[in-house]
Amino acid sequence: MKRIAVFPGSFDPFTLGHDDIVKRALPLFDHVIIAIGVNASKKYHFPLELRMEWIGKVFATEEKVSVKKYEGLTVDFCRGNGANFILRGLRSNVDFEFEKPIAHMNTAMANEIETVFLVTSPELSGINSTIVRDIIKNGGNASQFLPKEIEI
């Protein structure tokens, strides 16, 4: 059986922190699906299609990575895509406390799907999509926090 992981998130925008998690996950899995969650009640800064296009550019030559969008439960998306793993990144104890009940509830709903956490590389743990968006909204240059393929 192929080891397929889903990396769910908003990726608004996709940063070097996200990139690091995906690259470090590649030796662990046969395929990583970067899955952009679409939540009707949540406001996003960058349009969905642009976020997908950027991620597609970053992994254009990496056959083991694909990008998809989804609505609804992450576990349902995993089942629909034959994935047995949910991948998430941990920057701090705050991330851990946020992620823990989600992982427990996902396990309660789908016992066959394991959540796997990778700890962020220390030099990237300060990167946060919210702050990157604020820099961009205020006319700053956020390129040092973004993969080179993403030019904003």
Cβ-proximal residues to 132 (8 Å cutoff; 6+ apart), any chain = 13, 15, 142, 145, 146
Q: Pick between residue 110 and residue 119 the one whose CB is nearest to ligand ADP.
A: 119
Q: Which residue is nearest to ligand ADP (CB)?
A: 17
Task: Confirm or reject binding of residue 129 to ligand ADP (CB under 6 A).
Answer: yes
Phi/psi for 109 (5° steps) reads: -80, -30
Among 2, 41, 42, 137, the one annotated catalytic: 42
Residue 51 contacts ligand ADP per CB under 6 A: no
Min dist CB 56 to ligand ADP, Å, is: 16
Alpha-carbon gap, residue 66 to 41, rounded angstroms: 26
- Other Cβ atoms less than 10 A from the Cβ of 89: the count is 22
Q: Dihedral sign, CA of 118, 15, 128, 31?
A: negative
Single out the catalytic residue among 10, 18, 51, 88.
Answer: 18
User: Annotated catalytic, 57?
Assistant: no
Q: Which residues bind ligand ADP (CB under 6 A)?
A: 9-11, 15, 17-18, 20-21, 88-89, 91, 95, 120, 124-125, 127-129
Active site residues: 18, 42, 91, 129
